[in-house]
Amino acid sequence: MNGTATKAAKDRRAYWAMVLPSFLIYLFVFGFPIVLAIVLSLSNYGGGKMFGGTSWGITGFRQYQRLFADPYFWNALKNNIYIVLVSVLGQLPLGFIFAYLIYRKTVKFEEFWQGVLYVPAMISTIVVGILWSIIFSPYGPIADTANHYYASAYSAKISGIFQTTGGLSDPDELTDQIIKASPSTINTVFSDPSVDLKDFLLSYEPGDTATLQKDLVNLLAPRWNADFLSKNNVAMIPICFVTLWMWVGTYLLIFLANMQKIDRGIIEAAQIDGASEMQIMGRVVLPSLSKVIANSAILCISGSLSGFALILAMTGGGPARVTQVLSIYMYDKAFMGAPDYPLANAIAIMIVLFSLALVGIMFALERRFGGKE
């Protein structure tokens, strides 16, 4: 009996000898910052030495009251919710569907598609952000394509006007028709269109109508302001699109690796029983990956709430904080201008609480609807 007790005591000492160092490091690296963030969020600390510097103290929930009264906080939270929804409802379903198509060999060249879909996740986030900011800029390929279409359509309209009015032979009629064809641009180019445009037309020789038409297109063709990232109503669409494009491949690999663990005999038995491909996916594969999907959703949520580099690279925070999310909002309060450490830590705590709430919802949904792995 004594020998058994002695062995158990030795086992406990060995256990704690191995676990305690890692546990203490964990507390120092993770626990201490969390406790400090909570304390600072409840204080009026203004920077400098915490001990021996300017006196500071606990002020209760004043910082949280300031936070909830700040419209920029609610805007950042709304943008974060957009990204979370696109990530959870976009990245995961698309990753699962692509993984299933490759797993079931529905598409050819499986390795090629795995590589193509995963490549965006391998590129530096800063590089991705800069490249897409160029694409969505007012001078990017999207704007160039749209404005080329507008210019072509306006050029055809101007050519028709010259043909029907006889060109410079009737400058008054030509002026009136061009004014009617250019309602959105004529007043921005000419202060008095009926006079200034006519003088402009008469400055060309009758034989220079081709040059005149080209110059009119350059001056008066409507242009699309394609600065997506500064428009209040659409600024988050490019951010959400790039987020979706960049990380679908990561979840494809996660799902594909776990699909390959499923017993092929189960799928073959379902096929023998006459199950369709949709039934195999919905009733065999999907329930088998319920815990993987839940864990992937947690990874998705944490990535969405901590997203910083991509948005900063694409927009620099965005004009008037249009595309600001909670992490950038926190960074601004902590490091931009006059630091407000208590408010920044209050934002950090809100990010943690929001994350825990979403993770709790995911676990509840997994327990309610998940299958057995």
Over residues 206-242, the pLDDT tens digits come to 788 888 889 989 988 888 877 777 777 788 889 999 9
**In-domain check, residue 203:** yes
Dihedral over Cα of 257, 262, 263, 265: its sign: negative
Taking a C-beta distance cutoff of 8 angstroms, is the pair 120, 94 a contact?
no
Q: Looking at the structure, do residues 280 and 194 belong to the same domain, yes or no?
A: no
Among 220, 253, 277, where does a domain finish? 220
pLDDT at 240: 92
How many residues does the structure list for the chain? 373
For residue 288, name the pLDDT band (cuts at 50, 70, 90): confident
Q: Looking at the structure, do residues 322 and 182 belong to the same domain, yes or no?
A: no
Q: Looking at the structure, do residues 191 and 153 belong to the same domain, yes or no?
A: yes
- Based on C-alpha coordinates, what's the Rg of the chain? 31
**In-domain check, residue 303:** yes
> What is the DSSP annotation of 255-283?
HHHHHTTS-HHHHHHHHHTT--HHHHIII
Judged against a pLDDT cut of 60, whether residue 320 lies above it is answered with: no
With 0-12 / 13-18 / 19 or more C-beta atoms within 10 angstroms meaning exposed / middle / buried, residue 158 is buried
Amino acid 88 reads V
Q: pTM score, two decimals?
A: 0.80
Among 196, 220, 244, where does a domain finish? 220
**In-domain check, residue 6:** no
Q: Looking at the structure, do residues 132 and 165 belong to the same domain, yes or no?
A: no
**In-domain check, residue 12:** no
Q: Looking at the structure, do residues 127 and 252 belong to the same domain, yes or no?
A: yes
pLDDT at 3: 59
Q: Looking at the structure, do residues 309 and 364 belong to the same domain, yes or no?
A: yes
**In-domain check, residue 19:** no
Q: Looking at the structure, do residues 207 and 240 belong to the same domain, yes or no?
A: no
For residue 351, name the pLDDT band (cuts at 50, 70, 90): very high
Q: Looking at the structure, do residues 342 and 248 belong to the same domain, yes or no?
A: yes
Q: Looking at the structure, do residues 194 and 74 belong to the same domain, yes or no?
A: no
Of 29-33, 118-122, 337-341, highest mean pLDDT: 118-122
Judged against a pLDDT cut of 60, whether residue 1 lies above it is answered with: no
**Number of domains the chain contains:** 2
Taking a C-beta distance cutoff of 8 angstroms, is the pair 125, 309 a contact?
yes
**In-domain check, residue 118:** yes
**In-domain check, residue 24:** no
Judged against a pLDDT cut of 90, whether residue 74 lies above it is answered with: yes
For residue 371, name the pLDDT band (cuts at 50, 70, 90): low
Q: How far apart are the C-alpha atoms of 239 and 249, rounded to whole Å?
A: 17
> Nearest Cα to 373, choosing from 295, 302, 300?
295
Q: Looking at the structure, do residues 132 and 241 belong to the same domain, yes or no?
A: yes
Among 220, 244, 261, where does a domain finish? 220
Q: Which domain holds residue 199?
A: 148-220
pLDDT at 315: 83
Q: How far apart are the C-alpha atoms of 250 and 115, rounded to whole Å?
A: 11
Here the tokens at position 357 are: 């709430």
- Give the CATH number for residue 306: 1.10.3720.10
Q: Looking at the structure, do residues 160 and 133 belong to the same domain, yes or no?
A: no
**In-domain check, residue 335:** yes
Q: Looking at the structure, do residues 92 and 215 belong to the same domain, yes or no?
A: no
Amino acid 177 reads Q
pLDDT at 69: 94
Here the tokens at position 281 are: 């996916």
